[in-house]
Chains A and B, each alone.
Chain A
Amino acid sequence: MVDRSPSPGRPRPPLSGASLALRFGGIAVIVAALAGAFAYVNGTLDPQRLKPKDLVNVLETNNGVHPGFRRNHSKGVCVAGYFESSSEARSLSSAQVFNEAQTPVVGRFALPAGNPYAADSSVPIRSMALRFTQANGQQWRTGMNSMPVFPVGTPEAFYQLQKAQSPDPATGKPDPKAVPAFFGSHPEAGPFLAWIKTAKPSASYATETYNSVNAFYLVNAAGQRQAVRWSMTPLAVDAAGAVAPEGTDFLEKDLIQRLSAGPLRWQLNITLANPGDPINDASKAWPEGRKVINAGTLVLRSSHPQNDGECRDINYDPLVLPSGIEGSDDPLLAARSAGYANSYLRRTSEVDQLPAAKQESAK
Chain B
Amino acid sequence: MSAPLKHFVPLARLLHWLMALMIIAMLFIGAGMVASVSERHEWLIHLHKPLGIAILLLVILRLGVRFSTSQPPLPADLPSWQALAAKASHVLLYALMLILPLLGWAMISASGEPVMLSSSFQLPSIVSANAQVFAFLRKAHGYLAYLLFLTVLVHLAAALFHGWVRRDEVLDSMLRGKDRG
What residues make up the interface of A, taking CB atoms closer than 8 Å to B?
A: 1-9, 12, 15, 20, 23-24, 26-27, 30-31, 34-35, 37-38, 41-43, 49-52, 55, 136-139, 155, 312-315, 317, 319-321, 323, 326-327, 329, 331, 333-335, 337-339, 341-342, 344-345, 348-349, 351-352
Contact = CB atoms under 8 A, between A and B. Distances in A.
Given A2-B74, A41-B32, A49-B35, A27 B164 contact: yes
Nearest to B121: A323
A320 B122 CA distance: 13
B112 A27 contact: no
B57 interface: no
- Nearest 6 CB-CB pairs, A to B? A43-B35, A3-B73, A42-B31, A323-B120, A348-B135, A4-B76
Nearest to A22: B164
Given A5-B75, A27-B164, A38-B149, 18 more contacts: A3-B74, A4-B74, A4-B75, A8-B75, A8-B77, A23-B165, A27-B157, A27-B161, A30-B160, A41-B28, A42-B34, A51-B36, A137-B114, A312-B131, A313-B130, A313-B134, A331-B38, A344-B111
Contacts of A329: 39
A9 B135 contact: no
A52 B37 contact: yes
B84 A2 contact: yes
B129 interface: yes
Contact of A335 (B37, B161, B167): B37
Given A26-B160, A138-B122, A348-B132, A38 B28 contact: yes
A34 B153 contact: yes
Interface residues of B, number: 56
B164 A23 contact: yes
B18 interface: no
Interface of B: 4, 24, 27-28, 31-42, 71-78, 83-84, 86-87, 90, 111-114, 116, 119-120, 122, 129-132, 134-135, 138-139, 149, 153, 156-157, 160-161, 164-165, 167-169
A37 B86 contact: no
Nearest to A51: B35
A320 B40 CA distance: 16
A338 B132 CA distance: 20
Given A30-B160, A37-B28, A38-B27, A9 B131 contact: no
Contacts of A345: 135, 138-139
Given A9-B168, A31-B157, A139 B37 contact: no
Contacts of A327: 42
B41 A24 contact: no
Nearest to B42: A334
Nearest to B168: A9
A320 B113 contact: yes
